Copies of this chain bind each other. A is one copy, B any other.
Amino acid sequence: MDLAPLPASLPETVPFTGPETLERMQGFPFRARLGANESTFGPSPLAIKAMEQAARDVWMYGDPEGHDLKATIAARHGVTSDHIAVGEGIDGLLGLTCRLILAPGDAVVTSEGAYPTFNFHVAGFGGTLHKVPYQADYEDPEALLAKAHETRARMIYLANPDNPMGSQLAPQIIEAMAQNLPPHCLLVLDEAYGDLATLPLPQIDPHHPQVIRFRTLSKAHGLAGLRVGYAITNPALARAFDRIRNHFALGRIAQAGAIAALQDTAWLTQVQDKIRHARQSLTRIAERNGLKPQPSSTNFVTIDCGRDAAYARAILTGLQAQGIFIRMPGVAPLNRCIRISLADDATLDILAEALPRVLRSL
């Protein structure tokens, strides 16, 4: 069957290879799953209970308006529900956002080495990507803005805290950026790791016509496999998702689990404490092995291995052979690093035991 011209031009890419695929290829399961920034601390027990209860009611569709979930999110952020859109993870919402904003050929600006799934969606709707380099392992707001003005971009993508580097920009920098956007340009602010930030997040008027912020339940809330993300933006843009979204996509278990997780703020605080502890542990493991851990505002630590991409890749491959799943940035100069998710002590102990052996073997 011949495809339409745009999809016919796309590769059959997968932005990320899942650990299950690697397990099938290598023929044994991972002992430590530290590559996808999942939370070994798990979701709130109240969320598990809510999902179990919802499993009994799952013969019913979920509320296509996501009314109660949006109300819970809105209350958390001090806005009204009409500022909120919900969807199948930030990934799903990024796809819908690209579809809403981009006509084929439209320019989009991001950083060289930033989130590949965003690039996948831009290409998927015919946008043209323009990339600026990271500046000393931070995304570079001035370069992003300059490139956006130069290319008359319709979107700028910025993850803050950043993935894959774990760095965070000061709130004032993002606030200034929001005030200096080119006309017709949307600032796509990916705050997937916002719950784990070490600096305050920027204060941006939720009525700002050109900013959309994304949050997820996949990271601090430990619900990666549930697929719930949300956007905070002005009401007109939030409502625009209704034009194109899959209205029943957020199922009954997903909505119930997300609501319970968001309401259990005590659990979130505990996870934040555990993440701080794990950051110190992982930092020490890296340093003990002569590697250079970067400051982290996320649930992973990016570790500079001090040499080239081939060396970082060899460490990754060596750890994988030891049953430890990690990932690394995809482009230079970031790919001198490896990226390891934070986890409980038992899981990090597996890494601590294997890493020296892998390094000695190289």
Contact = CB atoms under 8 A, between A and B. Distances in A.
A2 interface: yes
A257 interface: yes
Contact of A243 (B11, B61, B100, B101): B11
A65 B20 contact: yes
B223 A257 contact: no
A297 interface: no
A209 B225 CA distance: 34
A190 B252 CA distance: 23
A226 B209 contact: no
Given A1-B186, A6-B103, A103-B4, A63 B243 contact: no
A20 B67 contact: yes
Contacts of A40: 59
Contacts of A100: 3-4, 7
15 contacts: A1-B101, A5-B103, A7-B244, A10-B244, A12-B240, A16-B64, A17-B64, A18-B248, A38-B59, A54-B225, A58-B226, A59-B224, A62-B227, A117-B247, A227-B250
A101 B1 CA distance: 8
A251 B91 CA distance: 13
Interface in A48-68: 48, 51-52, 54-65, 67
Given A1-B101, A58-B257, A209-B1, A227 B248 contact: yes
A243 B99 CA distance: 15
A67 B59 CA distance: 24
Nearest to A51: B55
Contacts of A63: 18, 20-21
Nearest to A228: B251
A252 B253 CA distance: 11
A330 interface: no
Interface of A: 1-7, 10-18, 20-21, 24, 33, 36, 38-43, 48, 51-52, 54-65, 67, 88-89, 91-92, 95, 99-103, 106, 117, 124, 184, 186, 209-210, 218, 222-227, 234, 236-237, 239-240, 242-244, 246-254, 257
- A interface: dominant SS: loop
Contacts of A4: 99-103, 106
**For the complex of A and B, 9 pairs with smallest distance between CB atoms:** A225-B252, A20-B63, A51-B55, A58-B225, A10-B243, A59-B222, A18-B64, A4-B103, A227-B251
Contacts of A227: 62, 248-251
A234 B55 CA distance: 33
A51 B43 contact: no
A106 to B, nearest CB: 7
